[in-house]
Structure 1
Amino acid sequence: MKNLKINNRFTAELPADPDESNEPRQVTNALFSYVNPTKPANPQLIHASETVAELVGISKDEIQSEPFLNAFSGKEVLPETRPYALCYAGHQFGNWAGQLGDGRAINLTEVEHNNQFFTLQLKGAGKTPYSRTADGLAVLRSSIREYLCAEAMFYLGVPTTRSLSLMLSGDEVLRDILYNGNPAYEKGAIVCRVAPSFIRFGSFEMITSRNELKNLKQFVEYTIKHYFPEIEGEPKDQYVQFFQKVADTTREMILHWQRVGFVHGVMNTDNMSIHGITIDYGPYGWLENYDPNWTPNTTDSQNRRYRFGNQPQVAQWNLYQLANALYPLINDAKPLENILESFINKFNSDYKEMFLSKLGLFTSIETDSELITDLEENLQLSETDMTIFFRNLNRIKKEDSVENAFEKIIDAFYIPKEIANNVLENWTSWFSSYLKRLQTEKLSDEERIAKMNTINPKYVLRNYMAQLSIDAADQGDFSLVSEFYSLLQKPYDEQPEMEKWFAKRPDWARSKVGCSMLSCSS
């Protein structure tokens, strides 16, 4: 790959683990460990993103080449590179977990292209010093979900890592999908994901927890220098500005999650990026019916810490842990506390504006909060598909009667016969208020609808769709992976030929493993 410009800033400037044995262990006074990927038995390219390849300096023709296959399956190490795994810690489900690290991810290298820097990372490429008792591998089902979801999120306008390639390894991997004592062999796979870096909140937590303050200072200053060059001033002021930047981009990311109905499922501090991008797609999902208490993660089914409606609060809690990690450099809690206190206030203000835009209301008036609250309550009276409901609001015109308006969103209800009596009265009341509110908007119907159609997606990667592509791929048919990849590149477009995917979750998917129930198993 002739235009791949290697630039290993991370390994050149930060302390490495001197022990290069690939055995699980505690790693101290180091931010990473050198480790080579496990060579796959018989790698096969399933799909690759031409746009992401171009982003990092790989041509369309090179995607089909043997060097591409070998490099991004882990079969061969790129020239002038030394792959490595990151050392980090984290809070998992609110509890301190200590050292975690890249247990099944290996960073191949950093590259520079068009004055931008990217880290290329293989997920599922084998054991690292941070794998603990695991094998560091990944299976086809989780790899398809990660590959498609990252790209789906990008085209939805949600900050995210990107997906370069999806490959079969040719190896069989043993997994217990629901942790119920029934392990089975599955096809192994490898995803190459791309991000500015894979530095996490837990990267700083790890160093501070071990009181490695010299490394902490060096790491924070490295991060500011390379990823936040606009930050200036005295060192302590820079550290506070850095925290403010992370808080701001995290808030914006969560706002986008709520806008499109995305639930991450594993918002541990080790899964939070300092770039404010979505990373680590495990048991995620999109809301089918609008349920703020839904989580896709079976591990979280009892406490529902990472439920849809709690994501802003968890983000703030995670930022609090990052603030604790940075505190030894600042020695002043007040500026950090101010940022944390303002996080939810700013989020709530932004959330109101975002929610109104989903309704096609682009100016705010005093009664809008009540309109939003009433709608959120109505959406939970009977199973209501979030994506279809908000997308179909684009059919409503200012001059519509309440009956006509209601009829235009009726397809969003899973059990239409439940929309009767008090439920129907509540909806009638809400649509009456909504139509009156539309009359106050200066935009024409056509202008308003055009703007709404850039905010409310028509197509998202519903869990049942991902599962259909997985089931087909298990049989060697990757056509649905390609079809969904194409579909999700234009999630706001009508795409009449893809209309069948603008549909509620089918009954068979209501309780099917992989559709409503997902675990942290790879």
Structure 2
Amino acid sequence: MKDKIFDQEMNLNIQDTFTSELPEDPIMGKQRRQVTDACFSYVDPSPTAAPKLIHVSKEMLDNLGLTIEDSKSTEFLKVFTGNSVLDKTKPYAMSYGGHQFGNWAGQLGDGRAINLFEVVHQEKKWVVQLKGAGETPYSRTADGLAVLRSSIREYLCSEAMHHLGVPTTRALSLALTGDKVMRDVLYNGNPAYEKGAIVSRVSPSFLRFGNYELFASRQDTITLKTLVDFTIKHHFSHLGTPSKETYIAFFNEVVQSTLALIVHWQSVGFVHGVMNTDNMSILGLTIDYGPYGWLEGFEEGWTPNTTDLHQKRYRYGNQPNIGLWNLYQLANALYPLIEEVAPLEDALDQYRSGFPKAMVQMMREKIGLTTEKGKDIALIQELERLLQEAETDMTIFFRLLSKIEKADTSNGLEQVMEAFYTPSELSSSLREDWQAWFQFYGNRLQEESLSDIERKKIMNLVNPKYVLRNYMAQLAIDDAENGNYGLLEELFDLLKNPYSEQADQEKWFAKRPEWARHKVGCSMLSCSS
């Protein structure tokens, strides 16, 4: 029996709704099983050998109504490493299915995530979850654990994305478990023991497309309706009471929030890496940070996921299309409640027609245009072509572009030269194309009323100077594996202000070093966690 800790010791305002309003799995225990007619299964986290908290987010402590002093307590350590549960709470794992790499995978569920409780603070509700806290009924053949390597990547990235302005789940804490976990990092038959770790993840909801797909696949319309009604009540209450019209409006909002999310990803050069439907948030949040990466060289065909290297289904340039494909699967899941194809098709058509417009507008903002001209599409398309002709760092290029003066763009290429990985590879014809583009760009800027200073300011609000490049995360991982957490702290603080100059951190405004080009963890990543 797990230790029970009174929530008053941490002064949390716990108001669980998921477990009190949705149907539960009547079977207890962690044995693997198909769970029917239920949205979740009760399951306690597994105890860990020697838990040690190595980092905590003060911002997320504040969001939950906790303090730094709370995080230093023995009670906090026990609860957020799965060694104790708060009194009157019952941890659980969610049941869901999903399409993985385009194929229906059946029941999946929280195989290594365990939800602890829901907290309400300052009129906002948060679900608190542990990732890597042990087996659940949905773990299939896995152990439900996570390693330090992947946990650091999730912890840093979820907070970094938030400060970039990208909708995301959040992270509260990162801890070592003291246990060793066997993993085959590249799935190449060379498993090894790694340090175990647990991330405490936080979100208004961890519901994903797959939650709804599972019940639809089983023709369990009763539980499907119960879950959709719950979702609307707690997350889309402005839509009103459940009805056919409400369900249609709900789907429309999910379509638009998904569109906005992926535009955000494209804007900052983020590649999720594994956009299965069980990794798509119903709230339009970035969820499940696995083999993600940021574009180093601007490349439409790049994917960070080794599992996807041949198919490249989840490559950077295909993320908008996959978003639409996934929404089609959600539409199929919701159809039994609507029983009409036309409104679902209309919503999907809004995505299909709206995404190109949203992308053009996003690119206008990245290159500092505040008005719309018909020539903008040609300007943007030519820029995207040129960025791929020679390896060009996306983040550095757009940040440097803001420094160009509209009265003289003739030396524009020289001003962005730092963004090219091998400037000597710029052929004479490519240089001519770039010069022609900068002339085109300069003429377009002349039609703008903003001064150079004003334009630079607005461009620097959408073009980050610092992003969590894979090699940066790997450096923090390497140090942490040796018991040093200073770099983890440095990157955590750096990425709180990704759009600021931070003159003392210029070393991170740099292209990927050559040693990282083919290094495991920097260029090659897998779903191994």
TM norm structure 1:
0.99
Is 1:454 equivalent to 2:454 in the alignment?
no
For 1:148 and 1:129, the matched residues in 2 are separated by 28
CA displacement at 1:233 relative to structure 2: 6.1
CA displacement at 1:41 relative to structure 2: 0.6
CA displacement at 1:232 relative to structure 2: 2.4
Which one of 402, 427, 445 corresponds to residue 452 of structure 2? 445
Q: How many residues align?
A: 521
Structure 1 unmatched runs, 5+:
none
For 2:157 and 2:321, the matched residues in 1 are separated by 23
Which one of 405, 416, 437 corresponds to residue 409 of structure 1? 416
Query: Residue type of the partner of 1:461?
Result: L
Q: 1:353 aligns to what?
A: 361
Q: 1:26 aligns to what?
A: 34
CA displacement at 1:344 relative to structure 2: 2.1
Q: 1:60 aligns to what?
A: 68
Q: In the alignment, is the contact (CA less than 8 A) between 1:32 and 1:84 conserved in 2?
A: yes
Q: In the alignment, is the contact (CA less than 8 A) between 2:147 and 2:195 conserved in 1?
A: yes
Query: Residue type of the partner of 2:188?
Result: N
Q: 2:322 aligns to what?
A: 314
Q: 1:367 aligns to what?
A: 375
For 1:340 and 1:18, the matched residues in 2 are separated by 37
Q: 2:513 aligns to what?
A: 506
For 1:309 and 1:375, the matched residues in 2 are separated by 15
Q: After the TM superposition, which segments of 4 or more aligned residues of structure 1 sit over 2 Å from their partners? A: none
For 1:301 and 1:164, the matched residues in 2 are separated by 32
CA RMSD of aligned residues (A): 0.8
SS at match of 1:165: strand
Query: Residue type of the partner of 2:455?
Result: R
Is 1:10 equivalent to 2:18 in the alignment?
yes
Q: In the alignment, is the contact (CA less than 8 A) between 2:232 and 2:242 conserved in 1?
A: no
Cα deviations across residues 454-511 of structure 1 (Å, max 9, x unaligned)?
0000000000000000011110011111000000000000001000000000000001
SS at match of 1:517: coil
Is 1:227 equivalent to 2:235 in the alignment?
yes
Q: In the alignment, is the contact (CA less than 8 A) between 1:6 and 1:80 conserved in 2?
A: no
For 2:397 and 2:136, the matched residues in 1 are separated by 45
Q: 1:493 aligns to what?
A: 500
Q: 1:239 aligns to what?
A: 247
Q: 1:278 aligns to what?
A: 286
For 2:35 and 2:219, the matched residues in 1 are separated by 14
Q: 2:208 aligns to what?
A: 200
For 1:184 and 1:255, the matched residues in 2 are separated by 38
For 2:56 and 2:40, the matched residues in 1 are separated by 28
Q: 1:519 aligns to what?
A: 526
Percentage of identical aligned residues: 59
Q: In the alignment, is the contact (CA less than 8 A) between 2:308 and 2:314 conserved in 1?
A: yes
Q: In the alignment, is the contact (CA less than 8 A) between 2:112 and 2:145 conserved in 1?
A: yes
Q: 1:163 aligns to what?
A: 171
For 1:283 and 1:127, the matched residues in 2 are separated by 22
C-alpha change, 1:234 and 1:187, in structure 2 (3 Å) is closer
CA displacement at 1:78 relative to structure 2: 1.3
Q: 1:390 aligns to what?
A: 398
Q: In the alignment, is the contact (CA less than 8 A) between 2:168 and 2:285 conserved in 1?
A: yes
For 1:11 and 1:130, the matched residues in 2 are separated by 17
For 1:380 and 1:222, the matched residues in 2 are separated by 46
Query: Residue type of the partner of 1:145?
Result: R
Q: 1:430 aligns to what?
A: 437
Cα deviations across residues 234-290 of structure 1 (Å, max 9, x unaligned)?
600000011011111111100100000000000000000000000000000000000
Structure 2 unmatched runs, 5+:
1-8
Query: Residue type of the partner of 2:130?
Result: L
SS at match of 1:119: strand
C-alpha change, 1:63 and 1:233, in structure 2 (3 Å) is closer
Q: 1:342 aligns to what?
A: 350
Q: 1:180 aligns to what?
A: 188
Q: 2:150 aligns to what?
A: 142
SS at match of 2:115: strand
Q: In the alignment, is the contact (CA less than 8 A) between 1:121 and 1:194 conserved in 2?
A: yes
Q: 2:337 aligns to what?
A: 329
Q: In the alignment, is the contact (CA less than 8 A) between 2:215 and 2:223 conserved in 1?
A: yes
Q: In the alignment, is the contact (CA less than 8 A) between 2:233 and 2:241 conserved in 1?
A: no
CA displacement at 1:2 relative to structure 2: 3.4
SS at match of 2:196: strand
Q: In the alignment, is the contact (CA less than 8 A) between 1:138 and 1:173 conserved in 2?
A: yes
Is 1:114 equivalent to 2:122 in the alignment?
yes
Is 1:77 equivalent to 2:85 in the alignment?
yes
Is 1:217 equivalent to 2:186 in the alignment?
no
For 1:251 and 1:67, the matched residues in 2 are separated by 41
Query: Residue type of the partner of 2:459?
Result: M
For 1:457 and 1:365, the matched residues in 2 are separated by 25
Q: 1:86 aligns to what?
A: 94
Query: Residue type of the partner of 1:438?
Result: L
